[in-house]
Amino acid sequence: MFDKKLYQETFSSLHASEDVLVEVMNMTHKTRKHAKFSRRAASVAAVVALCGVVTAAAAVGFLRYENPAAMLRALFGENVSSGSGIVEYDEDGRLMTNLPAWERVPVDETLAQELIAPYIFAIGESTVCGDYTLHVEALLYDAATRAGMLYYTVENSNEVSGYEVFPDGVLWWPAEAPVFTRVQGSSRAYLDTAMSSETKLYICTYFIADPTAENICVGIGSGEDRSKVNDISLELPGNVGIAGVELAGGAIRLSPVSIQMDLASLGVDSDSIDSITLYYTDGSEYVVENEADFVSNHTYALIDQEGVTITYTFNRIVDTNSIASVEINGVTYA
């Protein structure tokens, strides 16, 4: 069970791709240009996975994993620094990097305790690939929007090598890397730079599960053969929806970790979402996306296969108890 006292003590130090396709999308996002979102493909090449099934819907709370305060800072805080927009061209004038500005804010420990802690599942499962060990510490999942987050480590007592980290914190394993990690399905991984060292990486992956998915696999494989991955299969808590709100007659679902929009009901084309801003009752705001100002404060976004819904994961905790309205493409939904 969730130990509230232990949680409060822990927070005393806080100051307020299953497939090659997903990897290609992540690489394109970084080394070519910044995509507004990723789109789930209708079909992908089959991948041979060595998958050991593990039930993840275990005990909830902060009892089992290494540093919960650091984890929450990494998922929703300042472990990734804020940054200005970055636009880079190669010597031939081709666009190589197109990263909108992003802003990270401190974790609000009161919101974390109230809105996030009850939905974090301790995992404590490991798998190996050669000298590398992948250990899954925790899973956070919102069944209402199918948005989730995984916190896991990759360790090698000699050195973890071959990975790249982009200015906004996104982690990428290039083709020449000795190993690679993946989360099955649609996802994006970020490095927890505050906790990571030469021999151990702490990784935050934001994912959006398929509507029919009951499990999510996270695994590690050799860079020499990316068709084989040693996976840990985690059961998604399908009946656990993080406390949130609905707007526009249910066309907008908003949780502390994500927002999901029914495009047809809103009369919005998936390729034309240029701005999303959340307004709070105290007058403050959270700009999730603003193309005109070259700002992007989400960690991942995905349109479903049918183009019916689009889901964004946040880079901070949203206080759903204090939402006044949501503005999408200049239209306000109270």
Does the structure show a pLDDT above 50 at 89? yes
pLDDT tens track for 196-248: 999 999 999 999 998 888 999 999 999 999 889 999 999 998 777 787 889 99
Domains: count for the chain: 2
Q: Is residue 302 part of a domain?
A: yes
Alpha-carbon torsion (140, 57, 138, 184), positive or negative? negative
The residue among 179, 206, 235 that closes a domain is 235
Do 160 and 272 sit in the same domain of this protein? Answer: no
Do 143 and 206 sit in the same domain of this protein? Answer: yes
pLDDT tens track for 298-310: 999 998 877 788 9
Do 220 and 299 sit in the same domain of this protein? Answer: no
Residue 45: what pLDDT?
27
Q: Is residue 117 part of a domain?
A: yes
The residue among 171, 203, 235 that closes a domain is 235
Do 284 and 154 sit in the same domain of this protein? Answer: no
Do 77 and 197 sit in the same domain of this protein? Answer: yes
Do 168 and 281 sit in the same domain of this protein? Answer: no
Identify the burial level of 223 via C-beta atoms within 10 angstroms of its C-beta, where 0-12 means exposed, 13-18 middle and 19 or more buried. middle
Does the structure show a pLDDT above 50 at 51? no
DSSP 334: -
Pairing of β 285-290 and β 295-296: antiparallel
Cα-based distances in Å from 264 to 69, 146, 282, 291: 39, 19, 31, 21
* pLDDT classification of 270: cutoffs 50, 70, 90: low
Rg (CA), the chain: 19
Do 225 and 309 sit in the same domain of this protein? Answer: no
By residue range, what is the domain housing residue 286?
Answer: 245-333
Do 172 and 266 sit in the same domain of this protein? Answer: no
CATH for 282:
2.60.40
Residue 32: what pLDDT?
30
Does the structure show a pLDDT above 90 at 31? no
Do 16 and 161 sit in the same domain of this protein? Answer: yes
Q: Is residue 240 part of a domain?
A: no
Q: Is residue 297 part of a domain?
A: yes
The residue among 216, 235, 254 that closes a domain is 235
What value does the mean pLDDT take over residues 257-270?
87
Do 39 and 115 sit in the same domain of this protein? Answer: yes
41-50, 140-149, 205-214, 290-299 — which is least confidently predicted? 41-50
What value does the mean pLDDT take over residues 104-113?
90
Report the run of H or E that residue 10 belongs to, with start and end. helix 4-10
Do 145 and 183 sit in the same domain of this protein? Answer: yes
Do 175 and 252 sit in the same domain of this protein? Answer: no
